[in-house]
Amino acid sequence: MSKIKRTPAGEAMTGFILELFRVNGLLLTAGDRLVAALGLTSARWQILGAIVAAERPEPVAWLARNLGANRQNVQRIVNDLERDGLVAFETNPHHRRAQLVVLTDKGRQVFDAAGRLQAPWVNGLADGLSVKEIEAAHRVIGALRDRLEAGEG
């Protein structure tokens, strides 16, 4: 039986993807530790960030799409955030059942506090790397994401 061989670029991409998996797990663990005292997890923090980054209030399905996440998981976390007073639901004039998710004042305060914790942490991670190196890695990850979103591979 002949085995299909990876191209040199395919071999390099395989190693890159495996490293991304490891880094993702480490980032989630580090993020959980960083914001635990604020009552957040990496997942909750990420969703608050998506709400802040949106140009206007969005329903859960749109937040999930923007995050590349499962809608049911995002809904569960948004429900927890609402229970804790960090987000609220507003009526969506375009869709009766898909309520809009908005940050509360408490949610904004917690998100801003997380940002104050994140700045020195991320500066330490970036120490010794050039902006050019970081931007090159960002371009590669962005191209990989674009190809996956387009259904390539």
Please, what is the average pLDDT of the chain? 94
| Cα gap 60→99, rounded to integer Å | 8
Given phi > 0 = left and psi -120 to 50 = alpha, else beta, which region is 85? left
> According to CATH, what is the number of the domain 38-149?
1.10.10.10
In the predicted structure, residue 92 carries a pLDDT above the cut 90: no
In this structure, what are the phi and psi dihedrals at residue 65, rounded to the nearest 5 degrees? -60, -45
pLDDT bucket at 1, cuts 50 / 70 / 90: low
Percent with pLDDT over 70 in the chain: 97
This prediction has a pTM of 0.86
| Cα gap 139→123, rounded to integer Å | 20
Contacts 24+ apart (CB under 8 A), 114-122: 114/34, 114/35, 114/38, 114/40, 114/45, 114/48, 117/34, 117/35, 117/38, 118/34, 121/30, 121/34
In the predicted structure, residue 152 carries a pLDDT above the cut 80: no
Q: Domain-by-domain residue ranges, the chain?
A: 38-149
Interval 22-43 mean pLDDT: 97
In the predicted structure, residue 153 carries a pLDDT above the cut 70: no
In the predicted structure, residue 73 carries a pLDDT above the cut 70: yes
pLDDT at 3: 84
